[in-house]
Structure 1
Amino acid sequence: MTREEYVILHQKYLDGTCTPQEKKLLEEYQDQFELLDLPWDSEAMGPQEPTKAAIFNRLQEAAGLQEAEKRRNYPFLRMAAAIALLLVSVGVYYLFRTQPAGQIAEVKKASVPTTAEVQPGRNKAYLTLADGTVIDLEATANGDLSQHSGFKIIKLDGQLSYSGQEPTAGQAQFNTLSTPHGGQYQITLADGTKVWLNAASSLRFPAAFAGKERMVELTGEAYFEVAKNPAMPFKVKSSGMEVEVLGTHFNLMAYEDETQLRTTLLEGAVKVSNSTGEVTIKPNQEAVLQLASNSLKVEQVDAQESIAWKNGQFLFHDEDLHSVMRKIARWYDVEVVYEGEVDHKSFTGTVSRFEDITDVLNMLELTETVHFKRKGRRLTVMP
C-alpha cells in the first residue's frame, strides 16, 4: 500500500464509509507509516524535527489535552500526526511560493461561510444531435439514447458510447457534447477513441467517421486516448490551432478565457500547427500557442500534471492566482471578482476536486496572502 492509498483509506475511515475489510486493512498498515519513515523535503517543508513537533503539539492542543495527559502514549495522536505529515508529503497542503521555509501555516477556523448551494462539479452534460435535439444527460436514464442511420448511442453512468457502421458519402452527422460550468463527461467515439471532457467545454464530432481523416472540434479542455488507425489520422481543431495524431494520449487545453492554448503529450507523437507554422512534440513535452502573438513554442513538462483534473485533482505548480481561480470558477460554477491588489501571487499544491469549495478556499487562505468573501455564487478575492 502506498502512502497516498493509506491517506485515502484513512479519510474513508474518518467519513464512516470504510467497509469491514478496509478497516482491517487500515489497522494492519498503520504501524508501517511511522513519522520517522516519511521522506522529508526540507526545502519545501522546513526543518524536520521542529516541524514534526509543531504538528504534534497542535494536534494535542486541538484534542484539548492537558500537560499530564500529553505525556501518555496516545496511539490516536501518533497516528493523527502521521496522517498530517503524510498529507503534507503528498501535497494536500498549499505551499505559497514566497512563504519562508519552515513556517507552518496557522490553521484557522473557516472564514468562508459554508453553504449547500455551491457544490463540486459532477457528471453533467448536454448532447446535441444532428437534427437539433438536445438531451440532458444528467436527467436521462442509462440505456440506448438514440439508434438511427446505422449508429447507436449508449449512456452508462456518466459515459457515452457511440458504435455503428461508417456512413456513406454525404451522410456524416455531427453531434456536440457540451459540459456546463460544474460539469464533466466521458465519451467513446465510434472509432474507439476515448475523450474526457472537462468543465465548460464542448466537443463537436461525427457520429461515425468516414473519409481520409477523423476530425473533431474542441472548445475548453479534454484528454484524448486516440484509437490507432494509420490510414485515417485523428485531428482536433481548436481556436485556430490543429492537432494531428495517428494514435496517442494527449491533453488539449483551449479555453476562450485563457491567453494560451496548451497541447500536452503523454504517449506517442503529435503535430501541432497554426497559420504561422507547426511543431512536433514528444511525451512530456507541451506545445504552447500564445494567442496574442500567434506563436508556437515547445516546453518540457511533467505531462501527468496536465491530466490531474481527469484524475479528480486540482494540481497547481507555481501557478498564478488568476489561473487558479479560473479553474475553481469553472468547476464550482461561481463568479470570481477581485478586490484590491492580488497580482504576482503563485501557488503550488494539490487538492481533490470533490472537496467542498469552502475547504479549498480555506486551504488557500492558510498562506495568509489571499482571502475570500462569498455571497451566493459570487466569490470576491482579496489580499
Structure 2
Amino acid sequence: MIGKEEITALLKQYEAGACSPEQKALLEKWFAERQASSGWRWSSEEERLLVQRLMRTHIEDQIFKKKPEKRNTGIFTLRKMAVAASLLLCCMAAVWIFRMNGADKEVKRYYTEKAVKPGSKAARLTLSDGSEITLDDADTGMLFNKGGIKVSKLANGQLLYEAADPPFQNRNNTLSIPRGGQYRITLPDGTVVWLNSATSLTWPTAFTGKERVVTLSGEAYFDVAKNSEQPFRVRAGEAEVLATGTSFNISAYEDEDQVSTTLVEGGVNVTGPNGMVSLRPGQQATIFSGNNQMQKKDVDTDQALAWLQGNFLFEDQDIRSIMRNLARWYNLEISYEGKPNPMKFGGTYSRSKGLEELLKHLESLSGMRFSINNNKVTVLM
C-alpha cells in the first residue's frame, strides 16, 4: 500500500506539473480509495477539499482535464462569461407552446426519449397554431409573429421570445430540451435562461401578475432581469426559489432524490415543504425528496456551473449518480450487475469528448467494468 511520505512527494510533483501519466493515475486511484475507506480520516474538511482541488487542477491532457481557471471572486455573472469565446453558451433554445390536453406528457416524452448527438443544436419549436419548426434547420430571423407573440432565431443560435403588453392571449409556453442538448432563451421580461439536457421550462406568454412565475423540470441557470416590483419565482419539484434580480442554478431532475439551488450573485429565498432559507452567493440549498428536509451549505459554485462550461465535474459522487449524468448527455440506458460499489469519485471531464474514454478511466480507478451495446451500458460491479 502506498505510504503517506510517497503520497506527499507525489502531490508536490503533481502541483509542479512534473508527474508522469502513470503517477497521476496512481494519485487519482489513491484519492478514490481513501474516500471509500472507512478507516481513513482527513484532519478537516478543508484538507480533503484542498487535496481534491489540487489534484483536479493539475490534471492536463488526461481523461480528467484541467479544471477551469479559478476566478478572482466567487461572484460572477453570465454576462461576463459570455465575453469569453471559449464558453459554449451561444446555443439555441426550443420552445414548446401547447394548447391541448395531455401536453405535459408529450413534452416529457420529447425531452426524455428524444436524443441527439451530445452538444448538438437539434431542437423542436411547436407554435401556438400547432405548426412545428425544427430549429437546427430553421433560418436566422423571425420564426413566429402572431397574436402579439414574436419568436426570433438570432445569428448566434439563441431564441428571443417577445410578447406584446398585454398579449392577445396569455397561454403557457414550454421550452423542452432533448437528451444531449443545451440551449438558451431570453424570456419576455429580459431574463436569460440556459437549459441543460433533458430539461423543460414553462412560463406564460407575458408576466402580467404580481410575480413572474416559471416551472422547471431538469436543470437551468437563470440570469434574472431586475424588477423589485415583480419578483421572479421558479417552481422546481419540492422547491420554490424567489428572487428579484439575481443569478442562480437549479438542478431538479425527476430521477434524482434532491433539488439543489446554488446562488452565484444576488440573493434568493428557497422554500420547501418544511421551511425556508435565504442564500448568499456561494451557498447552496438542497431539499431531499425522501424526508423533505432542507440542507444549506457553502459550496464551490464551479461544480454546479461546470455544465455551462462544457464539462462534467464530479465531486464525491458514487457510480450511480455519475451514470445518471452520463445517461442524460449520451442518451444511455443503464443497468447494473453485482454488489453495490461504495466508491466515490471526483474529477472534470469535457462533455464534448466520447463516452468510451471516460468509462475506461473509471474502470482503471474502480475495478468496475462497463459493457457497451449501442446506447445500453451495463455496469459490472
Instruction: Give the TM-score of the pair, scaled to structure 1.
Output: 0.70
The code of the aligned residue for 2:153 comes to K
Map residues 302-381 of structure 1 onto 2, 5 A cutoff: 302-381=300-379
1:166 paired with 2:131, answer no
Q: Quick one: which amino acid aligns to residue 292 of structure 2?
A: N
Deviation track 1:154-189 (CA, whole Å, cap 9, x = no partner) reads 113442111242225x83122111111111111111
Unaligned runs of 5+ in 2: 1-5, 25-54, 66-114
Residue 320 of structure 1: how far off its partner (Å): 1.3
1:197 aligns with 2:162: no
How far did residue 140 of structure 1 move? Answer: 2.4
* Residues 88-117 of structure 1, C-alpha deviations (whole Å, 9 max, x = no match): 44595459xxxxxxxxxxxxxxxxxxxxx9
Secondary structure at 1:139's aligned position in 2?
A: coil
* Amino acid in the other structure paired with 1:165: A
Shift of 1:138: 2.5
What is the aligned length?
295
Counterparts of 2:188 and 2:152, CA distance in 1: 11
**Cα gap change, 1:334/1:318 in structure 2, threshold over 3 Å: closer, same or farther?**
same
How far apart, in 2, do the equivalents of 1:369 and 1:44 lie?
Answer: 25
1:347-383 CA distances to partner (integer Å, 9 max, x unpaired)?
A: 1100110001122222222314222110111011123
Q: Which amino acid aligns with 1:166?
A: D
Structure 1 position 283, deviation (Å): 0.7
In structure 2, the CA distance between the partners of 1:43 and 1:228, relative to structure 1 (3 Å rule), is farther
Deviation at 1:130, TM superposition (A): 3.9
Aligned pair 1:285/2:280, yes or no? Answer: no
Match of 1:48 in 2: 13
Tell me the equivalent position of 1:26: none
Which amino acid in 2 is paired with 1:350? T
Partner amino acid, structure 1, of 2:363: E
Go from structure 1 to structure 2 and tell me whether the alpha carbon gap of 1:277 and 1:177 turns closer, same or farther (over 3 Å shift).
same
Q: Which amino acid aligns with 2:164?
A: Q
Superposed displacement of residue 45, structure 1: 5.3
Does structure 2 conserve the Cα–Cα contact (< 8 Å) formed by 1:94 and 1:364? no
Show the 5 A alignment for 1:91-240. 92-94=62-64, 119-156=117-154, 157-167=156-166, 171-240=169-238
- Give 1:246 shift: 0.4
Equivalent residue of 2:308, what SS? coil
Runs of 4+ in 1 over 6 A off after TM superposition: none
Q: CA deviation at 1:339?
A: 1.5
Counterpart CA distance in 2 for 1:213 and 1:147 is: 26
Contact 2:218-2:253 within 8 A present in 1 as well: yes
In structure 2, what is the Cα distance between the partners aligned to 1:186 and 1:374?
Answer: 32
Q: Normalized against structure 2, the TM-score is what?
A: 0.70
Amino acid in structure 1 at the alignment position of 2:221: Y
For structure 1, the residue ranges without an aligned partner over 5 or more in a row are 1-40, 59-84, 96-116
Q: Deviations over 1:183-205 (max 9, x none)?
A: 11111111111111101000111
Q: Give the letter aligned to residue 313 of structure 2.
A: L
Q: Do 2:17 and 2:58's aligned partners in 1 also have CA atoms closer than 8 Å?
A: no
Aligned to 1:257: 255
Partner residue in 1 for 2:274 = 276
Give the root-mean-square deviation of aligned CA atoms.
3.0
CA distance change for structure 1 residues 258 and 162 in 2, over 3 Å: closer, same or farther? Answer: same
Contact 1:118 1:357 in 2 (8 A): no
